[in-house]
A and B are shown apart, each in its own frame.
Chain A
Amino acid sequence: DIQLTQSPSFLSASVGDRVTITCRASQGISSYLAWYQQKPGKAPKLLIYAASTLQSGVPSRFSGSGSGTEFTLTISSLQPEDFATYYCQQLNSYLTFGGGTKVEIK
C-alpha cells in the first residue's frame, strides 16, 4: 500500500500568512494527487487535482505543486475562511488519504 505522510499535522497561523503543507508518498505516484479542504461538520471539498490543477471556483491563493513522492499545498495569503483541515489523497492505487493538517488561527 502507498502511505501518505502530511506535515505538519497542526499549524497555527495568522490572516495574511503564507502557509505551506507537505504531503509525502511512500512510493512514486506521478502527479496522481488531490487536495481537499474540510470544515467542521462538513464533507471534504476538492481544492486541487492532478497535483497542481485548481478546481473550478477555488480561489487562486491556493496552489499545489510536486510530483513523484513530494507534494505541497500553498495558501499564499491565509483568509479567515481558510481555517480548516486539509487532506491529500493519492489517486494511483487504493486511494489513500494523508493524516490531515489542521490550520488554526494564531
Chain B
Amino acid sequence: QITLKESGPTLVKPTQTLTLTCTFSGFSLSTSGVGVGWIRQPPGKALEWLALIYWNDDKRYSPSLKSRLTITKDTSKNQVVLTMTNMDPVDTATYYCAHRLGWFGWFDPWGQGTLVTVSS
C-alpha cells in the first residue's frame, strides 16, 4: 500500500522560503519509472501542478513558478523536499504530494495535504 504525507510549517511570512517534506512508504524512488510530484490548491480554487522528480533525478517544474521552486529527493529516507522562495500571500494554499508512475503517468495516490498560510 502506497501512502504519502506532507509536513512543514503552517504559517510563513511574506518573502520567506517555504520548505515542505513529503514522506512516503510502499514504493521506492530508486525504482525505474517512479516519480513524486507536488500540487497546490488555494482555498476555493483549482489544482495547480508545481514540480515533479523522478527516480533518475530528472526534475520538472511549472514554467510559471520555475524560478522559485527546487525539488530534491532523499531515497534513503523515502522523502521528497520542495522549497519555494519569496513566499507571498497568494501562495496560501493546501500543498499536496502524489505518486506518479511513468513519463505519462497519472497521480495516484495523493497525500492528505497540508495548509500553508502566508501572512505577516
Contact = CB atoms under 8 A, between A and B. Distances in A.
The answer to whether A and B assemble together is: yes
Interface residues of A, number: 22
Given A1-B63, A43-B96, A43-B113, A95 B49 contact: yes
B52 A95 contact: yes
B46 A87 contact: yes
A89 B111 CA distance: 17
Contacts, number: 54
B107 A46 contact: yes
B54 interface: no
Nearest to B64: A1
Interface residues of B, number: 21
Nearest to B51: A95
A85 to B, nearest CB: 9
Given A1-B63, A43-B96, A94-B62, A99 B46 contact: yes
A31 to B, nearest CB: 9
Interface of B: 37, 39, 46-49, 52, 60, 62-63, 96, 104-113
Interface of A: 1, 32, 34, 36, 38, 43-46, 49, 55, 87, 89, 91-92, 94-100
